[in-house]
Amino acid sequence: MSREFLTYTNINNVLQQTTPVIITGVAATLLMISGGIDLSVGSVVALSGVVMAKATQTGIPMVAAIFCGIFVGLLIGLMNGGFVDRLHIPPVIVTMGSMYIARALALIFSNGKAINAGLPKNYTALGRGMFGVLSVPVLLTIALLLLFIFLEKKTLLGKYSFAIGGNKIAAIYSGIGVHGLVVIYYVLTGLLAGFAGCILGSRLGVGSPNVGQGFEFDVVVAVVLGGTSMSGGEGSVIGTFIGALIIGFLGNGLNLLGVPSFYQGLLKGFILVLAVILDSSVRNRLANVKAS
């Protein structure tokens, strides 16, 4: 319905806007296949961007500042994995707690304001740089997507996530190092959420403690819409990529049509509920077929 929808500029914009969701989602897919979930990724995005901006303000080179932001995400992922795996606290409770902690730290480090003064000239290179006809974030997203497809299909890290999500007790008795792997899945999710925060901060040109509001919701919707079961044991990285594009282009199309943002949230919520209902229906049918 919009002439601008299929233009190169619009498609490129949508791809750039969905890169943080895809980058975080590819790791979150393995986590959710294993039966876990991470609700802290939106706050990690904000905290990582703030840390990167603060680091550059102190004179730390841009590359090192990016690694500082990524390292923050890694630490929160390690904390999440440790509490879930070692203390057996439900993932929703643990990651909801770290969601509040990370957001509070982002606000504290930035004094509640966007950091935009004293940033180096190359601050936007990661988020706005171009390599030929494609932007740097899109190229990095493609590289990470291919890497995690390989991890899912060809490595034990990916294959064991299905085993753990399908039947954790059976996986333990089969000799799979479940405890260490659960921590790794959370670490990978936190690490890539931190990287996504650095990319988003660079694209915006500021370190804002308020970015990433509802980001965790977008990631979960993309992963579930891509076919990953909320119960674990099923899913795919390429499905998450497709789910993220569906959400991205849906939001973009509604924007082009002038639909208010709160209606978009309503539609995303409806899509998530519908996806979960369909997933539950398919699993029940498969269970009935096996039983018969």
What integer best gives the mean pLDDT of the chain?
Answer: 91
Q: Is residue 177 domain-resident?
A: yes
Between 133 and 209, whose confidence is greater?
Answer: 209
Q: How far is CA 282 from CA 52, 207, 226, 285, 286, in A?
A: 44, 43, 14, 5, 6
Q: Is residue 247 domain-resident?
A: no
pLDDT tens profile 204-239? 999 999 999 989 989 999 999 898 988 889 999 999
**Mean of the pLDDT values across residues 112-130?**
92
**Mean of the pLDDT values across residues 262-276?**
80
Q: Which among 40, 17, 12, 28 is positioned nearest to 99, based on CA atoms?
A: 40
Burial profile 257-285: b = 16 or more Cβ within 10 angstroms, e = fewer? eeeeeeebeeebeebbeebeeebeeeeee
Q: Is residue 227 domain-resident?
A: no
State the total domains in the chain.
1
Neighbours of 242 (CB within 10 A): 14
The confidence score (pLDDT) of residue 1 equals 77
187: tokens are: 């670490």
How confident is residue 120, by pLDDT bands cut at 50, 70 and 90? very high
Q: Which residues on adjacent β-strands are paired with residue 131?
A: 134
pLDDT tens profile 67-80? 999 999 999 999 99
Instruction: For the chain, give the percent of residues with pLDDT over 70.
Output: 99
Q: Are 42 and 209 in contact (CB under 8 A)?
A: no
| Residue 154 belongs to domain with CATH number | 1.10.3470.10
**Mean of the pLDDT values across residues 21-50?**
97
How confident is residue 261, by pLDDT bands cut at 50, 70 and 90? confident
Examine the pLDDT at 274 and tell me if it is beyond 90: no
The Cα 242–Cα 227 span in angstroms is: 10
The confidence score (pLDDT) of residue 3 equals 81
The Cα 230–Cα 145 span in angstroms is: 21
Listed range (36-40, 52-56, 228-232, 274-278) with the worst mean pLDDT:
274-278
Examine the pLDDT at 270 and tell me if it is beyond 90: no
**Mean of the pLDDT values across residues 247-268?**
83
The Cα 4–Cα 10 span in angstroms is: 7
The confidence score (pLDDT) of residue 38 equals 97
Q: Is residue 151 domain-resident?
A: yes
Examine the pLDDT at 190 and tell me if it is beyond 90: yes
The Cα 213–Cα 168 span in angstroms is: 32
The Cα 283–Cα 165 span in angstroms is: 14
The confidence score (pLDDT) of residue 108 equals 96
Examine the pLDDT at 292 and tell me if it is beyond 70: no
How confident is residue 146, by pLDDT bands cut at 50, 70 and 90? very high
How confident is residue 278, by pLDDT bands cut at 50, 70 and 90? confident
Q: Is residue 228 domain-resident?
A: no
Map tokens 């990916």 to a residue: 158
Q: Is residue 289 domain-resident?
A: no
The confidence score (pLDDT) of residue 165 equals 94
Its domain, for residue 76, covers 14-213
The confidence score (pLDDT) of residue 96 equals 96
Examine the pLDDT at 47 and tell me if it is beyond 70: yes
Rg of the chain, C-alpha, whole Å: 19
